[in-house]
Amino acid sequence: MSSSSKLSKHEVEALISGLDEGDVSDVTTLEGASDKQIRDFKFGSDDLSLLGDYYALRVINERFARFSRTVFQPMLRYQPRVTAINPTVKTFEDYTFASESFMSLTLARIEFLRGSLMMVISPDLISKLTNAYYGGNTLISKSAKRSDFTSTEDRIIEIITDGLIEALELAWADLIKLELSEVTREENMQFVSFVDDLEQVICCAFEIQLPGSPPASFDVIYPLQTLKPIAAQLRSRMQSDSVDNLSWTDRLQKAVFSVPLNCTARLTTVESKMASVLKFKNDDIVPIQINGPLNFVVEEREFFEAELGDVGGTVAVSLLKPSKTADKK
């Protein structure tokens, strides 16, 4: 038997075959074994102790789920709901055994950690996105088994994976600067060169809600060894909370401060009768009087009292004090 704590796919198949043929008894008595030597083992349970409390990774996944909505929006013509599922740890062999053989597999290198990750998208989701992108809807039945994508679907995969890589970099940005570079794309899980079968991987699953059809999913797979160098940062709950809050407030502040405003230096206001206004024509001269300071107006609101002048030969205004109207508001 393999040294792994779990049975491999081949070992499970051999055990089932032995039970069916009667070569292996379903009840085995261990003579001379004490209760202390025997412990219960629940098949299918993941050893989450290897992952630990990677709180920051869950926060990153939630951010990535939010950012990824904009990736799917141009194709679906609405912003879908994307939900992050709690990460799990399992061997890569277990993951491939539970997955379909034909999938969209994108391998990307993580430069900072000198490791890699893999994005896994089901062919059904690719078909629905392709159909929606060209004016259809997502109400299509599950496609028959096949072994390759069409050239149109390849283009959709390229758009989706490029967008998801950018969203993933943005989701990680507040913890570490993660630069991802695409290495290769594959379509068969059996032939992908990612990690050894018995190596532990962190599986981050995401569900996307599609109208009128069951939720579709896509996965981001990290080798456990790739994230171990930053395990302390990923376990830091206080750091993750503060980073997330600061990131949100900083982004909000940056967005607000980037809003363009119309600013006007109003010299004076002229009152004229309707009859005179209707007679205005080109080259008419309207006399004005400038008494006192100018009004510096921001978005039709008097903001400051100002004085007209010049700086280096350029006409300018000097802000003197907040206007009385601004003080009242």
In sequence order, the β-bridge partners of residue 318 are: 307
Q: What architecture does CATH give domain 263-328?
A: Roll (2.30)
Give the integer Cα–Cα distance in Å for 310 and 304: 18
Q: Are 2 and 14 in contact (CB under 8 A)?
A: no
pLDDT of 132 reads 84
Residue 150 phi, psi dihedral angles, 5° rounding: -75, 165
Each residue's pLDDT expressed in tens, for the chain with a length of 329 residues: 334 445 666 677 777 776 666 665 555 555 555 554 555 544 544 444 455 567 888 889 999 999 999 898 888 888 888 999 989 999 988 998 888 888 899 999 998 888 899 999 988 889 888 888 887 776 665 656 777 888 999 999 999 999 999 999 999 988 888 888 888 888 888 888 888 888 999 999 999 988 777 888 899 999 998 888 888 888 776 444 444 455 566 767 777 888 888 888 887 778 888 888 888 888 888 888 777 788 888 888 888 888 888 887 788 888 888 887 655 55
β-pairing verdict for 82-84 and 102-110? unpaired
* Fold (topology level) of 48-256: Chemotaxis protein chec (3.40.1550)
Q: Are 167 and 67 in contact (CB under 8 A)?
A: yes
Q: CA angle, 207 as apex, 201 and 211 as ends, to 5°?
A: 160
Task: Examine domains 48-256 and 263-328 and report if their fold is the same.
Answer: no
Domain ranges of the chain: 48-256, 263-328
| The model's pTM | 0.58
Q: Are 282 and 275 in contact (CB under 8 A)?
A: no
Q: With the CA atoms of 156, 161, 162 and 168 taken in that order, what torsion angle do they form, in degrees rounded to the nearest 10? A: 150
